[in-house]
Structure 1
Amino acid sequence: MATFINAVLCVCVLLVFGTCGTMCESVVPGFYVFGDSLVDNGNNNYLTMSLAKADFPHNGIDYPTGEATGRFSNGKNAADFLAEKVGQPSAPPYLSLVSKSKKLSSTNEVVTGVNFASGAATILNPTDELFQKSIPLTKQVGFYFLVHDELIKQMGLDGAQAHLTKSIFLIVIGSNDLFGYFNEDSEVSKQYTPQQYVDLLASTLKGLMKQMYVLGARKFVISGVGVIGCCPAQRKHNALNECNLEANYLSIRYNEGLKAMLRDLKTELSDINYSYFDTYYVMSVLIQNPLSYGITEIEAACCGLGNLKADIPCIPISTYCSNRKNHLFWDLYHPTETVSSMFAGLIYNGSQEVTTPMNVEELVKL
């Protein structure tokens, strides 16, 4: 516990005095992001039918431009901060590269990285794909196939493979699949027991990572699911604003399955390496000892309306807190920029208490 506390306090100091130095030098050739709204930086802006969007105020109020970009945050998200630490710019949203009939061949941005993440994305394919509300992980990996082909065109087969072998592949997903299990009209809860369901999620993710491996990916950064039952959207259903213990228990079971899957994958494919971030543990420590990290509000969202500011999401008519740095949650689901920066700092150089079997700083040196 002490190691974690010291690490987070160090991150907090970096937030005040800056994060540059040697870590801002480029240490990886490419940074490729897959996942959900925790790391989406604008892909859903291009999905006409999607309701999971953040391209409007008050989102982005603390972003460098002061404008909403499609990030579900008051500022940057964890993928932005981690990209900085490995010396790369924030990867452009994939759909921004192919919008308005623009072709990947018209840009060399794919070399330094691409963000495929999508708000509301899931590991399992949704049943209502008639309307494209998000980009599920299977489709994100399909988009990566196209980027891989473009890298070969630009760099040649050997050059592309050498590039991808040293690149980082960040995967942050799973929360929406778990939330879906508890929906009133959930079909999956009728089909699977909780254990069967989390096993299915882990095995599906394993298959997708193997596809990425075939196309060059060797260094993975995988984030476990956080304490999802303690987000404002879940707390508001309890008269005492307490966490949803059933949702948290499912998160624990999924994370255990995810760690076991990663160990098995390493056994099967010995030349891959990975860093697993224990988001659940980190969030639990923050919730139990918030004042130690400058957090004074762990229950209510900063932006929204109603009970815990979670009855209505962060939209232009919502109100927002004046001090975003002391809130754990920006809106009813997502962390503030400050907390995302803390997470990224620990992903990069945290101890084995929070990153296993290594942190990203160690991963990039392999």
Structure 2
Amino acid sequence: MVSNTIFWFLALTSLFLSLSLSFSDAQMVPAIFVFGDSLVDVGNNNYLPLSVAKADFPHNGVDFPTKKPTGRFTNGKNAADFLAEKVGLPSSPPYLSLKSNKNKAPLFLTGVSFASGGAGIFNGSDQTLHQSIPLPTQVEYYANVYKALVQQLGTSSAQQRLAKSLFAIVIGSNDIFDYSGKSDLQKKNTPQQYVNLMATSLKGQLKKLYNYGARKFVFPGLGPIGCTPLQRVKDQTEECSKELSNWAAMYNEALKSMLPALQGELKGISYSYFDTYNVMLNIINSPASYGIKEVKSACCGLGKLKAKIPCVPVSTYCPNRSDHIFWDFVHPTQAVTRIFVDTIFDGPSQYTFPMNVRHLVSV
């Protein structure tokens, strides 16, 4: 009887260990922490009562597994979801959905998303109206998560876990939009001065994340935001706004200069920068090679280029979302987002440097 008990105990232990190992093989990193704007918001803005920057209504989510709107500003999954899938993790939940839980620490173990539609690097005017969570506040929220993990795991274990985790930073477009629409900002700073301030401010927030255990960063640069339907519809010829795209490119250069400098200042950090700008231009200029047909018009909306009225329940949407670059007048479709994440994860040094994300998780 005793020998049978020992046999079953050993068998179950072996099974448990094998399951644990197989799980850890699939899970390439312990957690993903996401900071940013509507490109990676997975529902935080749903919890902001005063915010008008929401996507918790149809037709958003029409291609999501549940076929329901979730607060993601797209027809299905966004970049945060695809990145999590790549490393074998569930999508990081929105921080505000967990805030009221008394025992939050176990919920933080595989990561959290702080991203918020409308957010910028700066505390913009939307913050005054409480319509989004700007990056400085997102970083403050992460500090609370760090403290909860330290309390649960102990300082050493928490820091070891965080050092192996990914920190995705997807932000900056709203700061450029803000600058383009405000004469007072343009009077205070030239475009170059402004994007330099963006990079410097971001650097300060990254140092705070570093002090709370962050070591591996993923930085998608800004795309050619002047080519969104929102900007094209303002031009009679439906051409891209060169000014906005140029400002985005200027910021990308400031970011690419800042990151090696930061790496020199902070011991042990690694990062992957993704050239969103040129990959997006490739898709716009050679759409057929990516399975895309429509590069100018939004899929969901009303009016010229479906960009006069945004994607709201009374809007119409295209039957084949996978052949459009843009879901609404600003945000990409799930299909294009998947191209981005596939490229940043396994892409060549031409678009992902100094390493792709697969290499980043292994260092």
- For 1:129 and 1:297, the matched residues in 2 are separated by 34
Amino acid across the alignment from 1:90: S
Q: Is the 8 A contact 1:180 1:186 kept in 2?
A: no
Per the alignment, residue 227 of structure 2 pairs with 230
Aligned residues: 342
2:335 is aligned with 1:338: yes
Amino acid across the alignment from 1:37: S
Amino acid across the alignment from 2:292: I
- 1:171-320 matches, within 5 Å, as 171-183=169-181, 185-320=182-317
Shift of 1:303: 0.2
Amino acid across the alignment from 2:32: F
More moved, 214-223 vs 264-273: 264-273
Shift of 1:187: 2.5
Per the alignment, residue 154 of structure 1 pairs with 152
- For 1:63 and 1:140, the matched residues in 2 are separated by 26
Amino acid across the alignment from 2:81: D
- For 1:201 and 1:42, the matched residues in 2 are separated by 25
Per the alignment, in what secondary structure is the counterpart of residue 33 of structure 2?
strand
Per the alignment, residue 65 of structure 1 pairs with 66
- For 2:147 and 2:53, the matched residues in 1 are separated by 30
Q: Is the 8 A contact 1:55 1:71 kept in 2?
A: yes
- For 1:59 and 1:278, the matched residues in 2 are separated by 27
CA offsets 1:302-353 (integer angstroms, 9 cap, x no match) = 0000111011110000000000000000000000000111111111110001
| Structure 2 portions without partners, runs of 5+ | 1-21
Per the alignment, in what secondary structure is the counterpart of residue 262 of structure 1?
helix
- For 1:192 and 1:106, the matched residues in 2 are separated by 42
Per the alignment, residue 50 of structure 1 pairs with 51
Per the alignment, in what secondary structure is the counterpart of residue 108 of structure 1?
helix
Shift of 1:127: 3.9
Structure 1 residues 317 and 128, CA gap change in structure 2 (3 angstroms): closer
- For 1:43 and 1:332, the matched residues in 2 are separated by 21
- For 2:25 and 2:351, the matched residues in 1 are separated by 22
- For 1:247 and 1:316, the matched residues in 2 are separated by 29
Per the alignment, residue 36 of structure 1 pairs with 37
Shift of 1:107: 5.2
- For 2:29 and 2:194, the matched residues in 1 are separated by 35
Select the residue among 122, 125, 140 that pairs with 1:124.
Answer: 122
- 1:89-100 matches, within 5 Å, as 89-98=90-99
Which structure has the bigger radius of gyration? 2
Per the alignment, residue 11 of structure 1 pairs with none
CA offsets 1:20-58 (integer angstroms, 9 cap, x no match) = x99981010010000000000000000111111000000
Q: Is the 8 A contact 2:105 2:152 kept in 1?
A: no
Shift of 1:148: 0.2
Per the alignment, residue 102 of structure 1 pairs with 101
Q: Is the 8 A contact 2:127 2:134 kept in 1?
A: no
Structure 1 residues 283 and 24, CA gap change in structure 2 (3 angstroms): farther
- For 1:24 and 1:345, the matched residues in 2 are separated by 20
Select the residue among 316, 326, 347 that pairs with 2:323.
Answer: 326
Q: Is the 8 A contact 1:34 1:140 kept in 2?
A: yes
Q: Quick one: higher RCO (CA 8 Å, sep 6+), 1 or 2? A: 1
Per the alignment, in what secondary structure is the counterpart of residue 220 of structure 1?
strand
- For 1:306 and 1:314, the matched residues in 2 are separated by 11
Which TM-score applies when normalising by structure 2? 0.92
CA offsets 1:65-122 (integer angstroms, 9 cap, x no match) = 0000000010000110011001110000000001xx433x245120100000000000
Q: Is the 8 A contact 1:61 1:74 kept in 2?
A: yes
Per the alignment, residue 14 of structure 1 pairs with none
| Structure 1 portions without partners, runs of 5+ | 1-20
Q: Is the 8 A contact 1:35 1:121 kept in 2?
A: yes
